[in-house]
Amino acid sequence: MKKFVIPALGEFDENCGLKDIKKCSDGIFAEGVNGVKAVYATGDNKVEFICFENSTICYVLSAIGYPAYYPLKKNVLQKPVKAVLMDLDGTSVKSEEFWIWIIQKTIASLTDNPSFSFEEADLAHVSGHSVSEHLQYCINKYCPDKKLEDAREWYFKHTHYEMNEIMEGRGKEGAFTPSAGLKEFLLKLKEHNIKIGLVTSGLYEKAWPEILSAFQTLNMGDPKDFYDASISAGFPLRKGCVGTLGELSPKPHPWLYAETCAVGLNIPESESCHVVGIEDSGAGVCSIKLAGYPTIGFAGGNIESSGTKALCDFYADTFEQIWEYIK
């Protein structure tokens, strides 16, 4: 089987999920030109790796016109582990069913049919993609005379209402289910004086009710008191509001993880080998890796389908396995 090397990452085989693309998508770098040995991409084409003799730079693509290059740093986990950085959606909390329910409510309102519900065949099309893609699928199938902008208006109306209800303690029961073993894992980290950072690309108004609901379910008190640092994509930038930076710098860019650790937890870059990040998504795996931290993949998300499993230093199905790896 053919093998190849990405400096700072390691050796891989042709079935690892990464693709040999020969040339960077912006055309700046190409194999065999100006010292470039090879160019690879993740399976979902979100991140590209430009390989030189002894170094690699990564190109993070952007759907809205602001890509960026980052140096790839080699980092091997060293114990003792001083901090664990954890993703929210899919890693700490299971929330997919809630967001499918919100889309269902949206179509019910859009079609003025309170009894509307999805068929089993719809489920693959109303999760895992963008909100607009989900809604457009529903429009095409159930109400082709309706407009996407009207569907989006209903979607955000239901989202804002339901999130407020959760914050007030009246929301949908079980909307955000803590991942199995989350409480035990977090308490073990606390017991061993390992700092914990919560990292999400979600906007505050969407993300904070999720972790608050999970902590209420687990009877763990206020998440703000428990986590040593937390960061989200902040608040949306829209007319009449002062937003915070988040739309152009989320995962797979490194900034959310880097800021949580370096600023929130006060752990300098020189100690990054004593920090691990846990993610269930391909974008999150790339974000941790580009921030310079050893990376743990968590099963259940899109790591394998995105072709990023090869970037994980360790891959686990449970928090128990992760604890055994880092203790």
Selection from 251, 176, 181 nearest residue 211 by Cα: 176
Helix pair 148-167, 204-218: axis angle to 10 deg: 40
Q: What is the pLDDT along the chain (327 residues), one digit of tens a residue?
A: 789 999 999 999 989 999 999 999 999 999 999 999 999 999 988 899 999 999 999 999 886 678 999 999 999 999 999 999 999 988 999 887 888 899 999 999 999 999 999 998 887 677 655 577 788 889 999 999 999 889 988 988 998 899 888 778 787 877 789 999 999 999 999 999 999 999 988 778 778 888 988 898 899 999 999 999 999 888 877 678 787 877 678 888 999 999 999 999 999 999 999 999 999 988 899 999 999 999 999 998 889 888 999 999 999 999 999 999 999
Distances (CA, A) of 92 to 68, 136, 236, 279, 300: 28, 29, 23, 9, 11
Measured CA angle at 147 (ends 142, 148), to 5 deg: 90
Distance CA 283, CA 286 (A): 5
Phi and psi angles of residue 279, each rounded to the nearest 5 degrees, phi first = -145, 150
Fold adopted by 83-94+178-326: Rossmann fold (3.40.50)
Pairing of strands 93-94, 229-231: unpaired
pTM of the model: 0.84
Distance CA 2, CA 166 (A): 52
How many beta carbons lie within 10 A of that of residue 294, not counting itself?
22
Distance of CA 250 to the CA centre of its chain: 9
Which residues make Cβ contacts (< 8 Å) with residue 215, sequence separation at least 6?
221, 222, 223, 226
